[in-house]
Structure 1
Amino acid sequence: MDGVYDAPLSSRSRLERSSHTAFIDDGVLYVWGGYQVADGEDVVLPSNEMWLFNFYSGIWERKELTGDVPPDLMDFCGSYLNGTLYIFAGCDGEGYTNDMFTVDLRSECCVWKRLMNPNGKTPSPRSKHSCWVHRDRLIYFGGYGCKTVGEVQNGSSSSFVLEEMSWRTIGGTLFRCWGWNNEVNVFDTLTRTWSKPETRGAAPVPRGCHAAAILGNKGYISGGVEGATLDLYCLDLESWMWSCLDTSGSVAPLGRTLHTMTATPDGTLFVYGGFGTCGPTLNDAWQYNLHHKRWTKLNHQHKDKPRVGHTSCLGSDSDIVVFGGSSNLTLQMDSVAILRSPWQEHCSDVLIFQTQPYSLSRLCEDFIGRNHAMFDKYLNCLPSKIENKLKKRCAFFSAIKPLQSDLTD
């Protein structure tokens, strides 16, 4: 069943954000970074804190992070692997960066560390890129950033689309080319080594602000470029072969950017929201069936909640968990440039999309949780493991009941 879970009023304003990173581990949603808009200005949220939402209790908790805290970052890429959060690249106060920061979230003291002296050649500074996590590797794709003239001349002309040129020195190196790329860069977390595999096949054109998902040994990307309909590409992460998936059919999503795409175990890709190439912030949900090669538009209860710059994670029972983002991003055009409206409504609610029927066990747990007054005196008759699990479900529905009453008033 689709659901909406919001933060308490006391913390809601601190949780509202866009362009953050989020992931789920052991029934907890972790949220870090991003920005808000205040008085028409972007305000980057603190790097020394992380917010946790417990799906069993329905409670938000703030976690403090110490150490070599990352600078204020925009348009970075966050990835979670084996208890560690990796933050790579983005824009700081000085411009584009290619630094990497890590924090072990399973340790008692969560301490940020800046990656120093990795092996191999670090990718050029960039933003608006994506990442697949595969076999202890972080595999980055695309983005917008800067390169030296030599890097552009030595690389393939098809892998970098030049947008602008100007003279600027970063870290003692002269950069003068800004543009989009479709590069694939791999970071081995065990050996701390960067590498750049040679891909084959029909690669997508350079892009950023796209969405990425992984299922098995295959990584998928969609959107991030102008197009009437949403394109979809697949990269085999073993053979490094690109392929363009067939998305022709009677229905297909509009082209978009700043959306999310999440793979489910039954072989589908779930796409939600984004900014349409025709302008509006979108509220539609789609599934692409990788077996039958076709799109299906989903009916859902969140049509009043358009989202752009949000995050999407795979939850329990193949639920899709969407958090944050902006509900009303608009762009204004004048004779010189395309400008973003300074008034944005950032969100702090957690949206749940059900993608398949729940098991009988899940249905029973939710029924008891919603009607805990009927069952409280019987719970201590159950085995302790089941009793504790049901008590958490009861606590969760008790925590969200006031919010649901407010939403239906």
Structure 2
Amino acid sequence: MGEKDVNGVSGITAFLSTVPYDQWTSVNPSGWRPSARYKHAAAVVQDKLYVVGGSRNGRYLSDVQVFDFSTLKWSTFSQKMDSQDPKSDINISDQVFPASAGHSLIKWEDKLLVIAGHSKESSNTVRVWSIDVETHSWSAIDAHGKVPIARGGQSVSLVGSQLVMFGGEDNRRKLLNDLHILDLKTMTWEVVETKKAAPAPRFDHTAAVYAGNYLLIFGGSSHSTCFNDLHLLDLQTMEWSQPETQGAYVTPRGGHAGTTLNENWFIVGGGDNRSGATETIVLNTSKFVWSVATSVTERDPLASEGLTLCSATVDGENLIITFGGYNGRYNNEIFVMKPKPRDSVRPRLLQSAAAAAAAASVTAAYAINIASDEKNIDVKIVDDSDIKGVQFEGDTNRVAAEIDLISAEKKIVESRLAEVRDVNSRLKGNLEEMNISRNELAKELQSVQGQLEAESARCFKLEVLDLTHFLLTQIAAAQKKLESLSSLELQLEVLQQQKLHVERNMAADQRQKSGGVWQWMSGTTQNSEQ
């Protein structure tokens, strides 16, 4: 990135003279700087950048900071509450502007309008606040009608005297894709029913208004993914569509910031939950062609989420201006870029090729007719049905110059066509290589699956063998135990027989020794005979 810190500049003119085209340049203001933050809101009013609220370390901020491009210095907006504020039921401490984050900031007449956002002050519906940059007073606007549910991370776009609000995330973290309009003249909300498929619910996306009749929605986040889709809402028919885009590939992102400058929509920062988006991308809203203006490194403050982006004309120079953001650390730096003037292009017709060719022929004939009128050249259309024959009479030198110009443009187109063909050829080659690699991987996968099946079968056989061996071992052990039990039973029977024999012998011996009653009686008889 062509970053460049500028010190000791005298005035905005000297500073802008050092800023290159299509490269981000950091502004190094002298003196005090506001605290770093993200999910704030910003707008430019008369060469001054107003920054309102935001979040830091989980804490909502209530300050309003002002950067003056004429002096390149920061100052704090000394705010005071309007004593005639009709919203007397709102709990506001010390008359400090309500702290909030994820809100939107719109310049309307001589005021700044703060819409929606997450706040410490609980509310079930969207609130609108007004900040008067002249009197430094603020007040809550009493809106009527079908007031939307409270939310943060929505997009709010100014279309005439109406604010168009899309999507966001409510206080219960429910994602939204509803559409509401606030009429700033009557301060009345209206819910809008749209046709066809609306964008998926999302928050932290960006929105832009094209030609005053179309609302563009790009990117954003859900709770699990980020988007890179582009949606278009016809504000006359309220019908959604997804225009076909060309040009550079745009990575998914949420938390990015966008601003329009003429027909170009610049988008900076954001991320995809893994890394920050490093490219500053540009959508040509008349042709729906994406391009990359410049890139930064991954850890650059511009590859942050929750930063703000504004466009302004300062000292005659068109600028886009960023402030703040979070990329692992909170930032409070200002960067500016001078977009290189781009050639205006005709709107890309969303028609068939034949219709587009016919329209191009009509446009060319019309341009020739206008040029001829200016030089009093007679133009004669030979066949006005297909606008093929055109005879010129008069200034042949101008005609020759026009032919040379067309030839040069043809060479440029042919060169670009050759580049596109070369890119397509390379992409085709890469696709063929990827197909070959895919086929090789498929074969390798089949081989691995076969090996896995064979290994599984072998493991199964081994498990069966192990189980069989285990069972045989257990059976052998049981048989041994049974044999031992039989031997023990025999020994027990022998011991029982021996015991019985011993008991019999002991009984016989006992009888012999005692003689029993007969022996006693026999002894008594013998004694009496004597």
Is the TM value for this pair above 0.5? Answer: yes
Match of 2:268 in 1: 272
Q: Normalized per residue, which structure has more strand?
A: 1
Instruction: Extract structure 1 runs of 4+ deviating beyond 4 A.
Output: 94-97, 226-229, 300-303
Q: Find the counterpart in structure 2 of residue 383 from structure 1.
A: none
Specify which of 338, 356, 368 is matched with residue 354 of structure 1: 338
Selected match of 2:312 from 311, 315, 340: 315
Q: What SS does structure 2 have at the residue aligned with 1:98?
A: coil
**1:289-314 alpha-carbon deviations (Å, 9 max, x no partner):** 22332211222567733221100011
Q: 1:229 to 1:144 in 2, by over 3 A?
A: closer
* Pairwise CA distance, 1:94: 5.6
**Correspondence 1:182 to 2:166:** no
What do residues 37-59 of structure 1 show as CA deviations (whole Å, max 9, x unaligned)? 2xxxx1222x2x42111222212
Matches within 5 A, 1:277-288: 277=273, 279-288=274-283
Corresponding residue for residue 124 of structure 1? 149
> Across the two proteins, how many residue pairs are aligned to each other?
299
| Superposition deviation, residue 321 in structure 1 | 0.9
**2:126 touches 2:151 (CA, 8 Å); kept in 1?**
no
Aligned 8 A contact 1:52 1:62 in 2 = yes
Cα–Cα, structure 1 residues 98 and 7, in superposed 2: closer, same or farther, change >3 Å?
Answer: farther
Equivalent position of 1:393 in the other structure: none
Aligned to 2:41: 21
Specify which of 232, 244, 247 is matched with residue 245 of structure 2: 247
Unpaired runs of 5+ residues, structure 2, are 1-19, 82-94, 343-530
Q: 2:281 & 2:234 partners in 1: Cα distance?
A: 23
- Alpha-carbon spacing, 1:237–1:84, altered in 2? closer, same or farther (3 Å): farther
Out of 51, 65, 79, the residue aligned to residue 79 of structure 2 is 65
Change over 3 Å in CA distance of 1:229–1:97 after alignment to 2 = closer
Is the counterpart of residue 32 in structure 1 residue 52 in structure 2?
Answer: yes
Q: Does the 8 A contact of 1:202 with 1:244 survive in 2? A: no
Q: 1:256 to 1:62 in 2, by over 3 A?
A: same
1:141 to 166, 187, 190: 166
Aligned counterpart in structure 1 of residue 125 of structure 2, from 90, 95, 98: 98
1:131-171: CA deviation from partner (whole Å, max 9, x where unpaired): 0011111111101115xxxxxxxxxxxxxxxxxxxxxxxxx
- Give the letter aligned to residue 340 of structure 2: Q
Q: Deviations over 1:304-346 (max 9, x none)?
A: 3322110001122442111111132xxxxxxxxxxxxxxxx21
| Identical positions, percent | 25
Higher-Rg member (1/2): 2
Residue 116 of structure 2: SS of its match in structure 1? strand
* Aligned counterpart for 2:112 among listed residues 72, 81, 85: 85
Q: 1:321 touches 1:352 (CA, 8 Å); kept in 2?
A: yes
**Which one of 105, 109, 112 corresponds to residue 138 of structure 2?**
112
> What whole-Å deviation, never above 9, does each CA across 1:224-256 have from its counterpart, x for those lacking one?
13668611112233332222122355x311101
Residue in structure 2 matched with residue 394 of structure 1 by the alignment: none
Counterpart contact for 2:181–2:192, Cα < 8 Å: yes
Q: Distance between the aligned counterparts of 1:36 and 1:86, measured in 2?
A: 22
Q: Deviations over 1:73-126 (max 9, x none)?
A: 23222222112222222222365642424334243x32221223x321110121
- Structure 1 residue aligned with 2:27: 5
Unaligned segments of structure 1, at least 5 residues:
147-176, 329-344, 359-409
Cα root mean square deviation, aligned = 2.4
2-structure distance, mates of 1:94, 1:111: 19
Q: Is 2:281–2:293's contact at 8 Å kept on the other side of the alignment?
A: yes
Q: CA deviation at 1:31?
A: 0.8
Change (3 A) 1:357 1:77: closer
Deviation at 1:15, TM superposition (A): 3.4
More helix by share: 2
Change (3 A) 1:299 1:127: closer
Show the counterpart of 2:60.
44
CA drift of 1:11 comes to 2.8
1:237 and 2:235 correspond? yes
Letter in 1 for 2:242: C
Per the alignment, residue 466 of structure 2 pairs with: none
Alpha-carbon distance in 1 for matches of 2:28, 2:237: 43
Letter paired with 1:11: W
Residue in 2 that maps onto 1:151: none
| 1:216 pairs with one of 191, 211, 215 | 211
Normalised to the residue count of structure 1, the TM-score between the two structures is: 0.67
